[in-house]
């Protein structure tokens, strides 16, 4: 067993391993776009990943051939702090090898991360019991679900409560969208998610919400009680590019779905979202992606009722900030 630094020269073999892993993965989650199974797509993904600043990882050589790897990129933001991010496709092992060898790869990659002062380790794992069990043994906890739903069948219309109307967003809605951009953050701030709401975050997202009123790349639908906006749904085409393995022109992503706290549990969000999904289906989208915090128990129960099936989970391991290498002297 030889573990070495992951280098650009490993990319062709790694792309083949990743494509083969995704082929097995796709059999478990056939809703996912099949482009993930193509070696040319996985090669572009790995090249883009390795071109990022502060990307590093380890390669596992078995009988002189690449048989596995873990690659992560350093980053920093208001929620995660300094961290390493291992995306879906950033951890791979040849299918004929025992999966627990990934623990050894994490051990070696993690040594450098710790030496570099990176104590928050994020890893996106396939939603497969054997993978999740392995990373649970390594003290990773589940934080975010990534899910996909087929749009093959039209959803039944859900009646709206009396006095509630829905329509597409217009320029006149910019201020309302800006002022109510905190609905999701406010909800996640409560139990049992307890997510902080930094002012920096609100300052960053409010302009983006306001732009939904005129963003031609988004399909944004709103619900109103009289002149008061009480719910919003915004849907985009899934991101397309080298780093976005499942992004295709027929894959949609709903980036925001929120209801005013005083109007929840009245069927407004369900009616609005069902309408937006059916509009997306009519526009030619074949599947839709979304994600949610797994500790957001309402979301974890709610979105599967629309057919969303988690295919991956964001896992997090936080090393004790007091950690330092032991010096017996």
d(CA 92, CA 106): 11
d(CA 235, CA 253): 6
Torsion of CA 309, 314, 317, 318, to 10 degrees: -120
Q: What is the pLDDT of residues 72-91, one digit of tens each?
A: 999 999 999 999 999 999 99
Tokens of 34: 């099949």
Note the CATH architecture for domain 2-146.
3-Layer(aba) Sandwich (3.40)
Residue percentage of the chain with pLDDT more than 70: 100
Average pLDDT, integer, range 4-31: 95
Q: What is the pLDDT of residues 150-185, one digit of tens each?
A: 999 999 988 999 999 999 999 999 999 999 999 999
Break the chain into its structural domains and give their ranges: 2-146, 153-285
d(CA 251, CA 237): 6
Cα 302-305-307 angle, rounded to 5 deg? 125
Torsion of CA 82, 84, 87, 92, to 10 degrees: -170
Fold agreement (2-146, 153-285) = yes
Check whether 327 has a pLDDT greater than 90.
no
Q: Does domain 153-285 have CATH number 3.40.630.30?
A: yes
Average pLDDT, integer, range 234-243: 92
Check whether 1 has a pLDDT greater than 80.
no
Sign of CA dihedral 93, 97, 98, 104: negative
Average pLDDT, integer, range 305-327: 95
pTM: 0.95
Q: What is the pLDDT of residues 290-306, one digit of tens each?
A: 999 999 999 999 999 99
Q: What is the pLDDT of residues 196-223, one digit of tens each?
A: 999 999 999 999 999 999 999 999 999 9
Structure confidence at residue 157 (pLDDT): 84
Tokens 């009396």 appear where? 162
Residue percentage of the chain with pLDDT more than 90: 92
Structure confidence at residue 53 (pLDDT): 85
Length of the chain: 329
d(CA 317, CA 298): 24
Average pLDDT, integer, range 49-54: 92
Per the CB < 8 A criterion, the answer to whether 55 and 46 are in contact is no
Check whether 244 has a pLDDT greater than 80.
yes
Tell me what the pLDDT averaged over the chain comes to: 95
User: In terms of Cα–Cα distance, which of 314, 289, 247, 293 is closest to 84?
Assistant: 314
Sign of CA dihedral 202, 293, 279, 229: negative
d(CA 254, CA 276): 9
Burial of 284 (C-beta count, 10 Å sphere; 0-12/13-18/19+): exposed
d(CA 172, CA 83): 40
Q: What is the 3-state secondary structure (H, E, C) of the chain?
A: CEEEECCHHHHHHHHHHHHHHHHHHHHHCCCCCHHHHCHHHHHHHHHHHHHCCCEEEEEEEECCEEEEEEEEEEEEECCCEEEEEECCCCEEECCCCCCCHHHHHHHHHHHHHHHCCCCEEEEEEECCHHHHHHHHHCCCEEEEEEEEEECCCCCCCCCCCCCEEEEECCHHHHHHHHHCCCHHHHHHCCCCCCCCCCHHHHHHHHHHHHHCCCCCCEEEEEEEECCEEEEEEEEEECCCECCECCCCCCEEEEEEEEECHHHCCCCHHHHHHHHHHHHHHHCCCCEEEEEEECCCHHHHHHHHHHCCEEEEEEEEEECCCCCCCCCCC
User: In terms of Cα–Cα distance, which of 176, 171, 190, 175 is closest to 260?
Assistant: 176
């Amino acid at each position: 067993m030889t573990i070495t630094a992951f280098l650009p020269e490993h990319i062709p073999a790694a792309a083949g391993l990743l494509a083969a892993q995704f082929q097995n993965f796709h059999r478990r989650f056939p809703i996912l776009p099949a482009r993930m199974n193509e070696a040319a797509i996985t090669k572009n993904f790995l090249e883009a990943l390795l071109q990022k600043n502060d990307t590093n990882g380890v390669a596992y050589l078995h009988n002189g051939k690449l048989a596995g790897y873990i690659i992560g990129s350093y980053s920093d933001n208001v929620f995660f702090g300094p961290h390493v991010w291992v995306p879906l496709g950033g951890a791979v092992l040849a299918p004929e090898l025992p999966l627990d060898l990934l623990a050894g790869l994490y051990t070696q990659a993690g040594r450098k991360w710790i030496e570099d002062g990176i104590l928050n380790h994020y890893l996106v794992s396939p939603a497969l019991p054997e993978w999740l069990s392995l990373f649970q043994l390594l003290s990773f906890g589940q934080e975010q679900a990534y899910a996909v739903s087929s749009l093959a069948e039209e959803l039944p219309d859900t009646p709206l409560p009396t006095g509630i109307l829905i329509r597409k967003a217009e320029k006149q809605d910019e201020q309302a969208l800006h002022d109510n951009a905190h609905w999701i953050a406010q909800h996640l701030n409560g139990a049992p998610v307890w997510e902080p709401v930094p002012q920096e975050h609100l300052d960053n997202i409010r302009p983006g919400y306001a732009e939904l009123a005129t963003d031609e790349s988004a399909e944004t639908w709103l619900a109103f009680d009289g002149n008061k906006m009480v719910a919003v749904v915004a849907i985009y085409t899934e991101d397309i590019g080298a780093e976005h393995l499942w992004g295709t022109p027929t894959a949609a992503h709903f980036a925001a779905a929120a209801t005013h706290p005083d109007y929840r549990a009245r069927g407004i969000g369900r009616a609005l979202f069902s309408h937006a999904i059916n509009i997306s289906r009519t526009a030619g989208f074949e599947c839709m992606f979304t994600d949610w915090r797994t500790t957001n128990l309402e979301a974890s129960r709610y979105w599967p009722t629309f057919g969303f099936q988690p295919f991956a989970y964001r896992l997090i391991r936080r090393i004790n900030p007091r950690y330092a290498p032991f010096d017996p002297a």
